[in-house]
Amino acid sequence: MTKQLNVLLVVYAFPPAAGVGVLRAASLARYLPNEGIRLDVLTTRNSSAVGLDPSLLEDIPPAVTIHRTMTLDLPFSLKKRLKRVVTGGRPPSPAEQGTAQPSSGVLKRAFQDLFLPDPQVVWLPVLSRVAPRIVRNRAIDLVIITGAPFSDYLLAERLRKQFPGLPIVLDFRDEWLSTLFGRANFQFNRSQRARRFAIKAEASAIASATAVVAVTEGARTAIRSRYPEEPDEKFHYLPNGFDGTRVAFSEGPLPHPYPGKVLFTYVGSVYASTEPTAVAQALDALPAELKARVKLRFIGHIEEPRYRDSLLRLGDMVELVGHMPQRAAMKAVRESDYALLITHDPLNISAKFYDYLGTGTPIVACIHPDGDVRRLLEKVRGGWWADSQNIDSMTQLFTNAILRRDSLGQTFRPDRAAILQYERKAIAQRYAALLHSLCGLHDQGSTPVTDENVMVQTF
């Protein structure tokens, strides 16, 4: 029997906030209390999220203590409008991609540099005051800080100064530097000052951490390579996953909402690394008789008007639904012929990819050919893929998918045993084992988890 471990999870957005970025923290909060862990969650009361999904909060056991604080962060819709004003509303040109670009105008540069490494840094003053208080008052044994936003990781150095012996885990849902400055992304601030700040801030956070967890092996390797002076055992890989109680391929397909059509459903936000223009061009290049058979459904927030415009040019082929609660979105995937995945990111794997796997729906993936998504898709035989920058290749991918639809029972053979390794409960058990090992707690006694769900006073 393992001694109970008191853990504080620091996360910017937490249920009832919605979005794929919420799901990893939500699953840890749901399952860690069954693994000898008393969990406290420190989060915001008013996070800038794409929407609300109260059903996610219903899954959090009452034993989890939730501390909610205020942040000065702007609402999601206002932040997106402000971002377009600050950035000028355009992505970098091909020649500019992967390089830091100077801002035009003193005011624009000053505004961008005020919020480093990201606009959510306005939560840091409250976070830095409340987190130490919780560590002391709740006898916390270990702290997990999960991001993005990457500004959350600035807490690590501050906690280390106050608690020299406290185990601190940095949980990277995205690899920091490539996410902010990689070719696939168009971020709030790509200046040289922002790059220098991020490099220095990540190094300080890594030095302050006891362990670093990445959600892909590629991200773990990339982060680890930047810090050769650190021991290899400091860096761990624990993937995202799917919740078998919300999406279950054992339930089988649902009735088709578009009889006679081949339905491709995409779930999640559409932003720089999931930009759909080339995919739309590939679909538009299909022969007329195949285009007439296609229904393309996008569920989620579309960040830029130009992304929406590129999809709407497909006319009746496309349906833009907007945000849905996760259960409803996964039901929409299960009633589809194919789950559509778009990502230009070679390192990070979106959480929705695992949810797709959990539905048992074949995946049609427009992805980076050298990325971890391709390797995992092939490993579990979850579907078919094409290079997200090769229009001809994607056109052939969709052609094959349309022609294959009626024979999927014979041609789609996923490795379900391999897929089940990515169920969130199993991953939480592995995460709990890591946390216990970091604290060296292997005593014989066990303290029962208290039955409480506390909201602290707004700060």
For residues 326 and 18, what is the distance between their CA atoms, to the nearest angstrom?
A: 8
Q: What is the DSSP string of 334-369?
A: HTSSEEEEEE--SS---HHHHHHHHHTPPEEEEE-T
Q: Determine the average pLDDT of the residues in 174-200.
A: 74
Least confident range of 59-73, 88-102, 290-304? 88-102
**Prediction pTM value:** 0.82
Least confident range of 139-143, 186-190, 221-225, 432-436? 186-190
Q: Determine the average pLDDT of the residues in 126-141.
A: 97
Mean pLDDT of the chain: 85
When comparing pLDDT for 441 and 41, which is higher?
Answer: 41
- pLDDT exceeds 90 at position 54: no
How much is the pLDDT for 75?
55
- Reported as a pLDDT band with limits 50, 70 and 90, residue 21 is confident
- pLDDT exceeds 80 at position 237: yes
For residues 129 and 126, what is the distance between their CA atoms, to the nearest angstrom?
A: 5
How much is the pLDDT for 381?
97
Residues 6+ apart with CB under 8 A from 118: 148, 149, 150, 151, 188
- pLDDT exceeds 90 at position 281: yes
Q: Which amino acid is at 444?
A: Q
- pLDDT exceeds 80 at position 300: yes
Under 8 Å between Cβ of 277 and 458: no
Find, among 320, 281, 327, 329, the residue nearest to 301 by Cα: 320
How much is the pLDDT for 455?
37
How much is the pLDDT for 80?
54
- pLDDT exceeds 50 at position 52: yes
pLDDT digits (tens, 9 = 90+) for 339-374: 999 999 888 898 889 999 999 999 999 999 999 999
Helix (H) or strand (E) holding 22: helix 20-31
Find, among 139, 5, 33, 135, the residue nearest to 443 by Cα: 5
Q: Please, which residues bridge with residue 294 across strands?
A: 262
- Percent with pLDDT over 90 in the chain: 65
For residues 318 and 296, what is the distance between their CA atoms, to the nearest angstrom?
A: 5
What is the phi/psi pair of residue 341, to 5°? -120, 130
For residues 386 and 242, what is the distance between their CA atoms, to the nearest angstrom?
A: 24
Q: Determine the average pLDDT of the residues in 69-76.
A: 71
For the chain, domains (ranges, CATH) are: 5-241+424-439 (3.40.50.2000), 249-418 (3.40.50.2000)
- pLDDT exceeds 80 at position 415: yes
- Percent with pLDDT over 70 in the chain: 82
- Reported as a pLDDT band with limits 50, 70 and 90, residue 182 is low
Q: Determine the average pLDDT of the residues in 381-396.
A: 98
Q: Determine the average pLDDT of the residues in 272-280.
A: 94
How much is the pLDDT for 81?
54
C-alpha angle 158-46-30 in degrees, rounded to nearest 5: 75
Q: Determine the average pLDDT of the residues in 46-63.
A: 85
How much is the pLDDT for 29?
97
Q: Determine the average pLDDT of the residues in 177-194.
A: 65
